Structure 1
């Protein structure tokens, strides 16, 4: 029994030029790193929770509680964990709304510009959220919520734009095979984020969060 034409050796690869390969790799790793930044936040939640509670640095019983509570957001790790869950909720809600908006914007503007703006701006927001506020020892629940809502909207530019770019470059013939390989980018990003974040977590959660900004 003969194989379908699309599965015969050399038939699929002969359709693509080196430009197709570049587009495939750029969109693949762009979205992988976007997913990696989300996974990083999940991996450092325990460290963030400890940092936001006075017990994180309370190594002596001789000092008054006011010293340990200064600039701390929550009196206990449980309340910090609940707030981190709230951040996840507002992020997912803004991300869901942003997907619809980003799709409309991507249809009307240059996809490359929309994607570049979304990724660069998201990296900046993550840096302010996890690193700059920690360096300045500035802790504010309202600021964190606003930053994470904005981050959800900015990260929502990723999926509609990269899918549109891939759709423009790869025709119907072989699209299932190509997108089957390409769709692994989210899983690769999750694995990459977990591995890299855990490798630098010993230096502080702010290093793990901002690590992908420099990539």
Structure 2
């Protein structure tokens, strides 16, 4: 009998369940990549909406009345343009933060495939409408604010839905590492969004929104056609449960030792009975660790989103790069974020300390932010290095909390098998974090006219507060490592 080709051997070595899990992981990765891809252009085109027009060559037939603002896009041609940019960001982020608290509950009660695909298509529509303002010659701040607010609302469909879907398919074994890799969709989306927007920013900035809008709407159609919400929908086995001799008898059959990918589906045990009633908002808050991680994410996301919306403009103003070059350089922050998210997941899996991993990275991030502001523009190599380090340390804890920690809390053993809590828990944590995401760019817009140093002091203060909010959980984890509690992993209540 002839031996199979090595490639075929590799393919057939994985079970049908494993291929489905891999397919869902890739699919949800692509979906949330498009969400962030459509959010990023606003930060790229800011430096195009308000420029130093005295350095721009104007058409010969143009009658110039004000040499300083003729090339700017009204209403952002005034001296308070930074405040207006902050208002524009805040319209999206406040709507996103408010909508997120309701989105999780809707996600638990509606089919995820319909919910996610409709959100992506609507997000594509509103992203395109923002870009059409360039071609329709719209100069009303209210128009752009309204489109941003509506886009913020529909974008809340994304995160709870994709996390709930991944949580349905995967257990907790190596969850931090796997979700650290998977969560790179945030940074990949930011990078792609920056590059796409950068292609059109100097010629026709409307296309910087229209192209990403078409992409996310197309992904919504793919979601409707191919997303599988749960393993049982295609006769796949549920994530496997293995007993651990270190666990108390009451906690046996919990999902704390499930494998992410399993090539053997014949050893699956009877799944825990699923509750039919979705968890309440107050019930989700009572899950141990939800409040602490939610408040920590508020300040961690404040820092991350301030960089997301203001970094290209900061680079353009301080290092005096053109809008495209500043946008390209800002992607290095997201490249560092990919590495930081994977590293945070890997360390937390190995150590069993989610809170301690987040706290350690936040502690190191504070002086790194200070250094970036002081020496980050002293030459291109220094800029690249500091952006990579800051991206890794700022986005690492943010990525870990929004993925592995949210999934752990949403499947906590105190829920006794209620798998429908995952979407609500994820929405509470990310919704609280989104409050910080809304406040950060707004504060940056208000503070930046007084100097960029003050913006960085604000970011460092937020970073320290995020670290302090995890102190109780870190203390519990350290006591656990020292043998003062039973040998449980991470933040779980004993």
Q: Is the 8 A contact 1:118 1:155 kept in 2?
A: yes
The aligned residue for residue 8 of structure 1 is none
The aligned residue for residue 151 of structure 2 is 151
Larger radius of gyration: 2
The Cα shift of 1:61 comes to 9.6
The Cα shift of 1:117 comes to 1.1
Using the alignment, how far apart are the partners of 1:56 and 1:102 within structure 2? 45
**CA spacing shift, 1:104–1:75, aligned 2, 3 Å:** closer
2:119 match: secondary structure: helix
Using the alignment, how far apart are the partners of 1:170 and 1:140 within structure 2? 47
State how 1:6-25 maps to structure 2 within 5 Å. 16-25=17-26
The aligned residue for residue 101 of structure 1 is 102
The Cα shift of 1:154 comes to 0.8
The aligned residue for residue 127 of structure 1 is 128
Deviates more, 1:102-111 or 1:165-174: 165-174
The aligned residue for residue 187 of structure 1 is 187
Q: Check if 1:86 corresponds to 2:93.
A: no
Using the alignment, how far apart are the partners of 1:157 and 1:90 within structure 2? 17
**CA spacing shift, 1:75–1:26, aligned 2, 3 Å:** closer
Q: Is the 8 A contact 1:49 1:81 kept in 2?
A: no
The aligned residue for residue 444 of structure 2 is none
The aligned residue for residue 35 of structure 1 is 36
Using the alignment, how far apart are the partners of 1:93 and 1:206 within structure 2? 24
Using the alignment, how far apart are the partners of 1:80 and 1:124 within structure 2? 26
The aligned residue for residue 204 of structure 2 is 204
Show CA shifts across 1:43-69 (max 9, x none): 11122335xx9x989656983749x98
Q: Is the 8 A contact 1:94 1:149 kept in 2?
A: yes
The aligned residue for residue 142 of structure 1 is 142
Deviates more, 1:85-94 or 1:176-185: 176-185
Structure 1 unmatched runs, 5+: 1-12
Let me know the Cα RMSD of the aligned residues.
2.8
The Cα shift of 1:175 comes to 2.4
**CA spacing shift, 1:56–1:146, aligned 2, 3 Å:** farther
Greater RCO (CA < 8 Å, at least 6 residues apart): 1
More helix by share: 1
2:35 match: secondary structure: helix
Using the alignment, how far apart are the partners of 2:136 and 2:109 within structure 1? 40
The Cα shift of 1:20 comes to 0.9
Using the alignment, how far apart are the partners of 1:62 and 1:128 within structure 2? 28
2:173 match: secondary structure: coil
Number of aligned pairs? 196
Using the alignment, how far apart are the partners of 1:113 and 1:202 within structure 2? 37
The aligned residue for residue 3 of structure 1 is none
1:164 match: secondary structure: helix
The Cα shift of 1:139 comes to 2.3
The Cα shift of 1:93 comes to 1.1
Using the alignment, how far apart are the partners of 2:145 and 2:103 within structure 1? 21
The aligned residue for residue 115 of structure 1 is 116
The Cα shift of 1:181 comes to 1.4
The aligned residue for residue 174 of structure 1 is 174
**CA spacing shift, 1:45–1:184, aligned 2, 3 Å:** same
Deviates more, 1:185-194 or 1:195-204: 195-204
The Cα shift of 1:168 comes to 0.6
The Cα shift of 1:136 comes to 1.6
